[in-house]
Structure 1
Amino acid sequence: MSGNRKFFAAAMAAILMIFSAGCGSTVQMDTAEVEALLAKSQETMAAVESMAAEMTMEMDMSLGDEVMETTTVANILTRQNPLQMQMDMSVKMEDGSEGQQMKLYAEEVDGKLMTYMYSADTWYAQTMELGDLGQYNAEQNLELYLNNIESFQASGEETINGTETTKIEGVISGDAMEEAILESGVAESAVSMGVTEEQLQAMYADMGDLPIAMWIDAEGYVLKYEMDLTELMQKIMDAAMGAVGQTEADVSVSIKKTMISMVCSDFNAVGEITIPAEAKSAKVLTVEE
């Protein structure tokens, strides 16, 4: 019996080791080692000229007894200098049904961004500022995050798309946090819901730090990053409800989760992005339209 117990214990230990290896392991790195990895990543990512990314945004909210869960997925190809972008986006509801689907192309022309969007079987064209699609430019965002992450620590080792990475967790605060929120596109959404610039500035001042996690490989490439925007979205929703006359006695909207993640790949391997002829021939919309 004693031998059986020892065999059982050894088998359980082996099973636990297998499962822990699959779920990510802990890592011991001192501050200097983490700083060195971040510095290497800054240098590596600054040299990236093209990349692919898959953005996933999960948002769960409730209105009284009604719960709505949506997952937005965008597959993005980006080339820098001059900027070119291709994106396919879809929205799924909690029941698995497909919501909005959209295809977008963008190219830098004379210091502006010419965008072409395909939605509801129609192409639309519009001129934008270069930063207007910042939430989808993973390389640009990573430069901001890598240069401004604070209170960071290595929290584990995980495999992303077959490559071993170190997970670094930290926060973005102060002016960098405000810039990160602007780049995320959340602020623009808030304005569309009636939130004023003054209310946005008050929210920035009232917010805590913005949590962020990055998964970095040995060469300094960031293979994934993730941001928790739950607190920010709740504040925006509260402000938006106030803007339309919602009172505390009314049913409030509760934001349960807002998470944005980017999984990055194909560094310096994205070829020329060709915009379809039918998109190029689309009528250019003006702001009034």
Structure 2
Amino acid sequence: MNKKIVSLMLMLMCTLVLAACSTGTANVSQEKSPQQITEESFAKWYGLESYDMDMLMNMKFSVGDEVLDVSMTGKGAIFQKPMKMKMVMETTIPGIGQKMTIEQYAVQNEQEMAIYQQIENNWQKIIVDDPAMMETVYMDPKDNLKLFMDHLVSAEIIGEEKINGKDALKIKLVASGDIFDQIFQETAGDMLGLGNGLISGDVFSQVGDMVYTIWVDKVTFDTLKCQMDLSENMRNIGKALAEEPNMPSELKDIFANAEMVMEYTILNQNSAQDFVIPEEAINAPEIELPAA
């Protein structure tokens, strides 16, 4: 698979994830609608100075006749003001069974974002200084909240569960697929070929509504856990890409059969342990992103 195909595939997947993810008192949940609870919970989350996160992601997609099944677990520390992140992930290499550890850091200032990554004991760094790409990689939490709530179709409490010993409301959320149109057109459009004939804007109008689940602390309204299944959305993209005359057939096939499920748990609100980016990461050779 050539670099152009890989670049497009990863950018589409990452932007799907971006679109997806964007103090109460005891028993106050009985007095508020699921939509109000959702907005307050997300506002608290996006307003945090820092938090830790446990992540689980499963992906399955086809490359030619081969089906690749990828699972990934990770632990991260996220600081939002200003944004910096540390993530240590473990994944199993498809077809081999060997586990791989990936260590990542990201830090952003007004001019650029630096991403550092260690794979197989080799460090590399990427400097993102393109405004459109920076908006794709990171959206201001306040804008993220407004974008999501503007496109929220429904919010429904579907049960109660304990998450890490805390009583939580389980809320099913449905967001209109129009959210993808806005994100792709305003941030990722040029990189993905919108405007140069590679991909038409109609592709993203066919992504479909996004359905996912959140668990919210009944007392504090803290967001405790989120789960997203983007499989149908990715398959919808595959169907839309199949109608694009200029789209490489490999990319169509990848998305036509793709599955993607993510789950993450939010921990240690406003008390994540700070970290220092290793010197070997800062001094690593810089690599360039493949051109779209």
Are the aligned partners of 2:215 and 2:225 in contact in 1 as well (CA < 8 Å)? yes
Q: Could you tell me which residue of structure 1 aligns to residue 114 of structure 2?
A: 114
Pairing of 1:207-222 with structure 2 (within 5 A):
207-218=207-218, 219-222=220-223
Are the aligned partners of 1:63 and 1:253 in contact in 2 as well (CA < 8 Å)? no
SS of residue matched to 2:60: strand
String of CA shifts for 1:204-259, please: whole Å, max 9, x gaps: 2123211121111121111111222112222344527973347x9xx997526321
2-structure distance, mates of 1:200, 1:225:
31
* Pairing 1:244–2:248 present: yes
* Pairing 1:40–2:40 present: yes
Query: How large is the Cα RMSD of the aligned pairs?
Result: 4.1
SS of residue matched to 1:279: helix
In terms of Rg, which structure is larger? Answer: 1
Q: Could you tell me which residue of structure 1 aligns to residue 25 of structure 2?
A: none
| Identity across matched positions, percent | 23
Q: Could you tell me which residue of structure 1 aligns to residue 26 of structure 2?
A: none
Q: Could you tell me which residue of structure 2 aligns to residue 202 of structure 1?
A: 202
Are the aligned partners of 2:234 and 2:258 in contact in 1 as well (CA < 8 Å)? no
- How far off is 1:134 after superposition? 3.8
SS of residue matched to 2:44: helix
Q: Could you tell me which residue of structure 2 aligns to residue 51 of structure 1?
A: 51
Higher alpha-carbon deviation: 64-73 or 161-170: 64-73
Unaligned 5+ runs, structure 2: 1-28
- How far off is 1:97 after superposition? 1.9
2-structure distance, mates of 1:95, 1:118:
22
SS of residue matched to 1:285: coil
* Pairing 1:285–2:287 present: yes
Q: Could you tell me which residue of structure 1 aligns to residue 21 of structure 2?
A: none
2-structure distance, mates of 1:109, 1:96:
39
With over 3 angstroms needed to count, the CA separation of the structure-2 counterparts of 1:203 and 1:191, relative to structure 1, is same
With over 3 angstroms needed to count, the CA separation of the structure-2 counterparts of 1:63 and 1:285, relative to structure 1, is closer
- Scaled by the length of structure 1, the TM-score of the pair is 0.69
SS of residue matched to 2:160: strand
Query: Match for 1:33: what amino acid?
Result: S
Query: Match for 1:69: what amino acid?
Result: D
Query: Match for 2:161: what amino acid?
Result: E
**Pairs aligned (count):** 252
Are the aligned partners of 1:90 and 1:98 in contact in 2 as well (CA < 8 Å)? no
1-structure distance, mates of 2:57, 2:184:
14
Query: Match for 1:163: what amino acid?
Result: K
2-structure distance, mates of 1:140, 1:228:
23
- Scaled by the length of structure 2, the TM-score of the pair is 0.69
Query: Match for 1:76: what amino acid?
Result: G
1-structure distance, mates of 2:58, 2:70:
6
2-structure distance, mates of 1:122, 1:84:
21
Are the aligned partners of 1:125 and 1:282 in contact in 2 as well (CA < 8 Å)? yes
With over 3 angstroms needed to count, the CA separation of the structure-2 counterparts of 1:110 and 1:143, relative to structure 1, is same
1-structure distance, mates of 2:289, 2:69:
31
With over 3 angstroms needed to count, the CA separation of the structure-2 counterparts of 1:229 and 1:200, relative to structure 1, is farther
SS of residue matched to 2:125: strand
Are the aligned partners of 1:177 and 1:209 in contact in 2 as well (CA < 8 Å)? no
* Pairing 1:170–2:177 present: no
2-structure distance, mates of 1:72, 1:52:
17
SS of residue matched to 1:79: strand
1-structure distance, mates of 2:285, 2:273:
27
String of CA shifts for 1:93-134, please: whole Å, max 9, x gaps: 577923553211111234321221112322112212544544
String of CA shifts for 1:256-286, please: whole Å, max 9, x gaps: 6321222111110113221011112223334
1-structure distance, mates of 2:185, 2:260:
16
